[in-house]
Amino acid sequence: MMKSHIIEFSSENKYLTLKPIIMGKNKKMTMALYSGSIDKLTAAGVILSGAAADDMDVDIYVLLQAARAFKKEIATNKDKLFMAENNELRIEFLNSLKRLNVKEWHEFFKEAKEITNVKIHICGLAGKIWGGEKLDDFIDLADDICGISEYITSAQEADVHLFI
């Protein structure tokens, strides 16, 4: 819930008080991150930055191929991440990101977590598919390993639901 404050002056008692006012509940976004491709991870990072700037609460559920991308030995190694479509454009895409000073995908995620309430959940089955049995197998951005039912519940409760 977003809180702001108002300064109230009491003419009767001649004092100022700082009173909280409730602005309303933060909007909630649930993102199902299925793809582990560098282009879609980057797109998810850009969207996540927008949600963070809008002070949304965000739950990201890392599914199937995205779980591979979140593994420690993969996440920061661009050579192990491919494009979702037109893999022959991968080098051009990476060069354009560099030329435009665009952050790497995981940096978008890290910054968003510093700005707002972002939780990153690794799907237990997806993690196991790629040899990720425990949270330590994934980059430190991951908050927990969970089952698919948590994603379904989060999607049902979300104001915005994305599947990438």
Residue ranges of the domains in the chain? 26-163
pLDDT, residue 12, reads: 61
Is the pTM value of this prediction over 0.75?
yes
Nearest 5°: the CA angle 139, 143, 147 is: 110
Cα gap 151→115, rounded to integer Å: 22
* Number of neighbours of residue 114 by Cβ within 10 angstroms: 9
Q: Which residues does 142 contact at the CB level (< 8 Å), separation at least 6?
A: 62, 70, 120, 121, 122, 135
* CATH H superfamily, domain 26-163: DsrEFH-like (3.40.1260.10)
Q: Report which secondary-structure segment, H or E, holds 42.
A: helix 38-53
pLDDT, residue 13, reads: 57
Do 163 and 40 touch, CB atoms closer than 8 A?
no
Token readout for 13 is 């008692």
3-state secondary structure of 12: coil
164 residues of the chain, pLDDT tens digit each: 444 444 555 556 555 554 444 456 789 999 999 999 999 999 999 999 999 999 999 999 999 999 999 999 999 999 999 999 899 999 999 999 999 999 999 999 999 999 999 999 999 999 999 999 999 999 999 999 999 999 999 999 999 999 99
pLDDT, residue 4, reads: 47
Q: How far is CA 133 from CA 67, 121, 123, 127, 142, in A?
A: 11, 13, 11, 6, 13
